[in-house]
Structure 1
């Protein structure tokens, strides 16, 4: 067992272990993986590559948790709020950690952290107050690479609020934030077994969680292949599956909009593009603009997005997938308005960067098919579509990805009651809606 050193954030010794049953333990097999900063490829930590044996041990620890303290709603809320207070006090350290894990700038990392903590605080009151959400048992969580801290404090945190214990498999590309949250939880008195973190590959740890029949529920955030694997396993395991499709946040622009509002919309869209992880809840991938104001909106978007710096992605294969999607959109008739040559960096081989892209997909009749066939949104890519009626909007945003997303609305002239999103708040971006404590419940995996 690793002694509690009282350090603010994990040390190298902590990162090299799993957190199971309240103890920091080495995996069953001694294999390791280097975690690199996506911005410059520097090594930030070395984490273990675990196996099915470690997953089974973690599930057993989650099931064996002392039900007394954790089952008491008042005590559980006290612990959850103490964890959030602890994380809030660690903001400077967590901002730096998130920068190294995702490649975000310090400014964007701080904004994402504050919004994430606001989401988590809202969940304590929103979920705990619902009697239908209170349950016990062990929940498995397979996280994606995009914004790991946000994922840890949305779906995982919401599960803890309901009284369940968790087994978390972080992304191999983004495991540091979940480990930091687990350490903070141990420091404020979470009972052993309430949070368990098992690091490793999707082939080993992810597949073990997806294929386990010992869990009471399973949450999977990932690429289409991982989601498909989880859906195939559900009938065999009998474990209820909850998934969150990435990339569902949009802005909808109505015809009666002035130039000041257009400028504000474009500026917020650029922020969403900088926080480019479509796996997290704060990025924005699509702007649906009424055809009558499309030229003005496109001009403003091109101006704002054109100065956004190239965004780091965690691997060259992911960048190829992102660029391939842009190419497919263009081949289907999309018009690239912003886009620069890819800045290869030989010295920083892991710092694969992708320039921001704005693609005009044209009218809604053709854009809906293009959006669906192009695949999962990745990287700093903003698609613009033109609409003229509510039927166009219904067609564009009929997919599950958008039902799990958020829409900001701009301008006047139409009611938006036919738009089926988790939440709609005029002129508030995804970051802002989180900070005021309103959010789509789909972000919590409910």
Structure 2
């Protein structure tokens, strides 16, 4: 693993992977360790030329070989990939922690889940069937699921290893070839995936990895007329630009654009389990999680007790560098730290700060991008911190008096990704399941990041299309209808 350093000239450039080869770009960029603010890698800065080369390489691999492989062969390739990922588990976890700052135990989970995606879609590849349709005696009709062709994948910096695997595994299993553009803030594990895919036996060009800036490489990829499908995970603002670019080429897209997910607590909730999972859902990777439970909607009868319990746990959280395996690591960059601190200042104006609200006191953390885990109470529903995705360890608490108000509050943001419902009343839980405008509802639990079988995606401004589960495999195919006349003359 490359150690952090201040001396740029000592580090070789991590190159793009195109057509099975390491390709130099004309320039490079610095990749920083968010725990220290120091340089940890230099990475190829791909642009239009490299993107075009990668798309051309993927098209050649698709047309010459990959689309004609049998489901069994693709399944075996995915199984080999899973085995390779498990063999490199420690290396991948260390790279993920170095690059993102997340606690090392979370990075190990990411490495395990990345392997699980390839194992799961290996099994699905051979179960991807069409349908036989009802027809007249002289007509035989059926459907064929076929791969799109060349798929572009633009992945975020918060879970680069896991999200890269989540999006490319079903695409490859369905018979597509891929061009993967990792975020410039955390490209290292995505680049390593490109190398390991070749080690696992995927043909050259089936998976290409092109690091670079979003405004350069990401924009060039989303606008490329050689793509047949585009998947993007990231911010709503960038998602709108990606969708606009794809629309110009009439290319289908899968968008996952974040959330403002609520926990909804009724008086008959399970205190110990709920508090534990509420805290975990907002401090995991310092709150930089699209499905983070960033809002707590709590019934007025239990409001004070819940806030006191949350504050008690927050004050015991350990903040530190990811490699020391703390409870809370840094946010990804100085820019993101400034963004989170700006939201905290806005929160002070109309909400009640009950803990946190600034930078850690420990001077040893001064060079990293750390923010104290923060709780605001009495948060107005229309406020910025209640309405907008902060992407940091900031929890917003709002009270409610009855189920109708809780539902209105839960649905009262532009987002609709996930929600947690905490009650022993089955009828009430079923009502909320029906009424909540979100893609995932968890009852008396929260988050299934490691459950690769569960479809994942949002309503409203959280995006559309589904990743994970068998449904994701369908996203990476198109349906061809066939009708054969079989009657005699």
Closer/same/farther in 2, CA of residues 171 and 350 from structure 1, 3 Å limit: farther
- Alignment match, 2:31: 35
SS in structure 2 of the partner of residue 203 of structure 1? helix
The Cα shift of 1:356 comes to: 0.7
- Alignment match, 2:165: 153
Closer/same/farther in 2, CA of residues 198 and 337 from structure 1, 3 Å limit: same
The Cα shift of 1:148 comes to: 0.8
- Alignment match, 1:360: 377
Closer/same/farther in 2, CA of residues 351 and 116 from structure 1, 3 Å limit: same
Aligned residue among 385, 396, 402 for 2:409: 396
TM-score, with length taken from structure 1: 0.84
Closer/same/farther in 2, CA of residues 361 and 58 from structure 1, 3 Å limit: farther
Closer/same/farther in 2, CA of residues 388 and 234 from structure 1, 3 Å limit: farther
Name which of structure 1's ranges 122-131 and 90-99 shifts more when overlaid on structure 2. Answer: 122-131
TM-score, with length taken from structure 2: 0.77
CA distance in 2, matches of 1:255, 1:198: 51
Does the 8 A contact of 2:264 with 2:298 survive in 1? yes
- Alignment match, 1:314: 332
* Cα RMSD (Å): 2.9
Closer/same/farther in 2, CA of residues 372 and 350 from structure 1, 3 Å limit: closer
1:114 aligns with 2:127: no
Count of residue pairs the alignment pairs up: 422
Aligned residue among 97, 103, 109 for 2:95: 97
Report matched runs for 1:302-381 at 5 Å.
302-308=311-317, 309=319, 311-331=329-349, 333-343=350-360, 351-362=368-379, 366-367=380-381, 369-370=382-383, 374-381=387-394
CA distance in 1, matches of 2:129, 2:384: 38
Consecutive unaligned residues of structure 1, counting only runs of 5 or more, are: 1-11
Does the 8 A contact of 1:251 with 1:407 survive in 2? yes
- Alignment match, 2:220: 208
- Per-residue CA distance 1:250-292 (angstroms, 9 max, x = gap): 43322212xxx21222222222233236664664322232232
1:235 aligns with 2:247: yes
Does the 8 A contact of 1:254 with 1:290 survive in 2? yes
SS in structure 2 of the partner of residue 50 of structure 1? coil
Does the 8 A contact of 1:147 with 1:277 survive in 2? no
Closer/same/farther in 2, CA of residues 302 and 128 from structure 1, 3 Å limit: farther
1:170 aligns with 2:182: yes
Closer/same/farther in 2, CA of residues 34 and 409 from structure 1, 3 Å limit: same
1:244 aligns with 2:260: no
- Per-residue CA distance 1:326-351 (angstroms, 9 max, x = gap): 223333x2222221431489988762
Does the 8 A contact of 1:220 with 1:227 survive in 2? yes
Q: Which has the larger radius of gyration?
A: 2
Report matched runs for 1:165-314 at 5 Å.
165-257=177-269, 261-276=270-285, 280=289, 283-308=292-317, 309=319, 311-314=329-332
- Runs (4+) off by over 6 Å: 344-349
The Cα shift of 1:402 comes to: 4.7
Closer/same/farther in 2, CA of residues 112 and 380 from structure 1, 3 Å limit: farther
Closer/same/farther in 2, CA of residues 315 and 255 from structure 1, 3 Å limit: same
SS in structure 2 of the partner of residue 212 of structure 1? coil
1:47 aligns with 2:47: no
